[in-house]
C-alpha cells in the first residue's frame, strides 16, 4: 500500500475493499447530483460484490434525486453509532462538510477513505484518491469500478451518469473530456436510457423553482464593467415560496450565460442567518476557488462556494470586492 497520504492508487483501494466487510459511504451537506450519485454508484457496486453498506447523508436524499433507482437507501444519520469498519467520504472538500451528525454516526470506524475531485481537498483520509482533473467524483468512481473489476449494476450505472451530467452542466463545462464522453458511451452500451434519465434530471422541476427564478431576476445586478453578475435570495423568499435547498440548484447558470459576464455569484441567506455563496467563473482567467478559500470556502477553479457570516450586505460587499480585484486584473 502507498505510504503517501497524498494519493493512493485504485489498487490500494481495491486491497481495502477486499480486506473489509462493512462500509459507510458519506457525502457533503446539501448534497448535489455528484454527492448522491457517487455514493449510490459505489454503494450499489459494493453491495453487488457482497459487502455490507450504509449510505448516509447529513441532510438525507433531496427530492429532485429521488427518481434514481435505489436512492431510498440513502439515510439521514442514525442516532446510534454504526458498527462499521471503513468510512468512504465522496465529493466532499473538507471533513466538516460531511456534517456533525454524520461524522458522529461513523465515529467507530477504523479506516477513512476519501474520494474527491476538489483541488482544495486537504487529503483528510487515511487513503486519498483526489483527482482535480476529473469533472465529477462520479467519474472517479466509474474509473475505480472498471479498474478493480467491481460489479456495475443498473443503480450504479444510472447514478454515475447523473453525477457526471449534473457536475458538468450536462457535459458542457471545460472539465468535460474525451474520457467523460467515452464513459457515457460505455454506460449507454450497458443499457442506460439517455432520454428518460435526462428528462428525470432536467425536465421535472417543481413550479416553485420557476417562481424562485422570478424572485431572483428581480434582484439581478451587474457590475459597471459588465464582468460580474449576481443575484440573491432572502430567507423570507425561501419561506414564502416553501423552497427546498435543491430548488436553486443550477439556476446560477442563467446569469453565468450572459455575454460578457466572467463571474456569476448567487448569495443565499440561510435560516441560521449565515450566507451561502455560490460562484461560477467562465474561464481560467478568474479562479473562484481562490476567492472562496479567502473566506473559508472551497471548490474548483470555475465553480466554488462559501458558507460565511452575515448579514447579507456585509458578505456581499466582501465577496464582490475580492472578485472585482481579480476581474479588474484580467
Ligand atoms: P455550489 O455552488 O454549491 O454548487 O458549489 C460549487 C462547488 O464548490 C462544489 O463543488 C462544492 O462542493 C464546492 N463548495 C461549495 N461550498 C463549499 C464550502 N463551503 N466549502 C468547500 N467547498 C464548497
Ligand atoms: Mn458536490
Ligand atoms: Mn462534484
Give the pLDDT of residue 330: 76
Cell of residue 285, nine digits: 482567467
Give the pLDDT of residue 248: 96
Pair (212, 197) in one structural domain: no
**303-308 β-sheet, strand order:** 221-222, 228-233, 263-269, 275-281, 303-308, 298-299
- Using the 8-state DSSP alphabet, how is residue 97 labeled? G
Whether residue 30 lies inside any domain: the answer is yes
Q: Is the Cβ atom of 135 under 6 angstroms away from ligand 1?
A: no
Instruction: Give, for ligand 1, the residue of 64, 289, 298 to mutate: max count of ligand atoms closer than 8 Å to Cβ.
Output: 298
Whether residue 234 lies inside any domain: the answer is yes
Task: Please choose, from the candidates 311, 208, 315, 220, the residue with its C-alpha nearest in 3D space to the C-alpha of residue 264.
Answer: 220
Residue-wise pLDDT tens digits, 24-50: 999 999 999 999 999 999 999 999 999
Pair (38, 159) in one structural domain: yes
**Neighbour-count burial for 268-290, b at 16+ CB within 10 Å, e otherwise:** bbeeeebbbbbbbbbeeebbbbe
Pair (240, 261) in one structural domain: yes
Give the pLDDT of residue 54: 98
Angle at 313 between CA 312 and CA 317, to 5 degrees: 120
Structural domain total, the chain: 2
- Which residues, other chains included, contact 314 with Cβ-Cβ below 8 Å and sequence gap of 6+? none
Going by CA atoms, what residue is nearest to atom 11 of ligand 1? 299
- Dihedral angle at the C-alpha atoms of 217, 218, 220, 224, nearest 10 degrees? 140
Domain of 273, CATH number, reads 3.10.310.30
Pair (192, 214) in one structural domain: no
Residue 217 near residue 231, CB atoms below 8 Å: yes
- Dihedral angle at the C-alpha atoms of 150, 155, 160, 163, nearest 10 degrees? -140
The last residue of one of the domains, among 170, 202, 234, is 202
Ligand 1 geometric centre to CA of 319 (Å): 15
184 SS3 class: helix
Residue-wise pLDDT tens digits, 157-166: 999 999 999 9
Whether residue 1 lies inside any domain: the answer is no
> Taking 70 as the threshold, does the pLDDT of residue 3 lie above it?
no
pTM of the model: 0.94
Task: Please choose, from the candidates 145, 136, 134, 132, the residue with its C-alpha nearest in 3D space to the C-alpha of residue 91.
Answer: 136
Pair (194, 217) in one structural domain: no
Domain extent for 220:
208-327
DSSP codes, 61-74 = --GGGTTSTTGGGE
Whether residue 257 lies inside any domain: the answer is yes
Using H for helix, E for strand and C for coil, what is the string for 228-278? EEEEEECHHHHHHCCCCHHHHCCCHHHHHCCCCCCEEEEEEECCCCCEEEE
Pair (183, 270) in one structural domain: no
Pair (149, 193) in one structural domain: yes
Pair (196, 217) in one structural domain: no
The last residue of one of the domains, among 162, 177, 202, is 202
> Taking 70 as the threshold, does the pLDDT of residue 2 lie above it?
no
CA distance 124 to 94: 7
Ligand nearest to the CA of 135: 3
The last residue of one of the domains, among 151, 186, 202, is 202
> Taking 80 as the threshold, does the pLDDT of residue 6 lie above it?
no
Residue-wise pLDDT tens digits, 166-194: 999 999 988 999 999 999 999 999 999 99
Instruction: Report, as an integer, the average pLDDT of 300-317.
Output: 96
From the CB of residue 7, how many other CB atoms can be counted at a distance below 10 Å?
13
Residue-wise pLDDT tens digits, 44-95: 999 999 999 999 999 999 999 999 999 999 999 999 999 999 999 999 999 9
Q: Is the Cβ atom of 65 under 6 angstroms away from ligand 1?
A: no
Give the pLDDT of residue 56: 98
Amino acid at each position: 500500500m502507498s505510504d503517501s497520504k497524498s494519493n493512493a492508487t485504485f489498487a490500494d483501494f481495491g486491497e481495502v475493499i477486499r480486506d473489509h466487510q462493512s462500509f459507510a459511504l458519506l457525502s457533503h451537506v446539501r448534497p448535489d447530483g455528484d454527492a448522491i450519485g457517487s455514493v449510490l454508484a459505489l454503494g450499489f457496486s459494493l453491495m453487488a460484490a457482497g459487502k455490507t453498506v450504509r449510505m448516509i447523508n447529513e441532510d438525507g436524499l433531496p427530492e429532485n434525486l429521488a427518481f434514481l433507482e435505489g436512492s431510498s437507501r440513502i439515510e439521514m444519520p442514525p442516532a446510534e453509532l454504526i458498527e462499521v469498519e471503513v468510512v468512504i467520504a465522496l465529493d466532499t472538500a473538507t471533513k466538516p462538510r460531511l456534517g456533525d451528525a454524520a461524522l458522529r454516526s461513523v465515529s467507530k470506524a477504523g479506516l477513512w477513505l476519501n474520494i474527491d475531485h476538489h483541488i482544495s481537498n486537504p487529503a483528510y483520509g487515511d487513503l486519498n484518491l483526489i483527482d482535480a482533473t476529473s469533472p465529477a467524483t462520479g467519474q472517479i468512481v466509474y474509473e475505480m469500478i472498471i479498474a478493480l473489476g467491481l460489479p456495475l449494476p443498473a443503480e450504479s450505472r444510472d447514478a454515475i451518469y447523473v453525477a457526471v451530467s449534473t457536475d458538468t452542466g450536462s457535459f458542457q463545462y471545460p472539465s468535460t473530456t474525451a474520457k467523460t464522453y467515452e464513459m457515457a458511451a460505455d454506460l449507454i452500451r450497458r443499457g442506460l436510457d439517455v432520454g428518460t434519465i435526462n428528462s428525470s434530471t432536467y425536465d421535472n422541476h417543481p413550479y416553485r423553482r420557476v417562481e424562485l427564478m422570478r424572485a431572483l431576476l428581480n434582484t439581478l445586478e451587474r457590475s459597471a464593467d459588465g464582468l460580474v453578475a449576481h443575484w440573491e435570495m432572502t430567507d423570507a423568499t425561501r419561506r414564502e415560496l416553501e423552497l427546498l435547498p435543491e430548488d436553486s440548484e443550477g439556476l446560477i447558470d442563467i446569469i453565468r450565460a450572459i455575454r460578457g459576464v466572467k463571474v456569476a455569484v448567487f448569495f443565499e441567506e440561510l435560516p441560521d442567518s449565515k450566507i451561502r455563496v455560490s460562484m461560477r467563473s467562465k474561464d481560467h482567467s478568474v479562479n473562484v476557488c481562490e476567492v472562496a478559500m479567502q473566506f473559508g470556502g472551497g471548490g474548483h477553479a470555475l465553480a466554488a462556494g462559501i458558507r460565511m457570516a452575515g448579514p447579507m450586505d456585509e458578505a456581499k460587499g466582501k465577496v464582490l470586492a475580492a472578485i472585482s480585484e481579480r476581474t479588474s486584473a484580467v
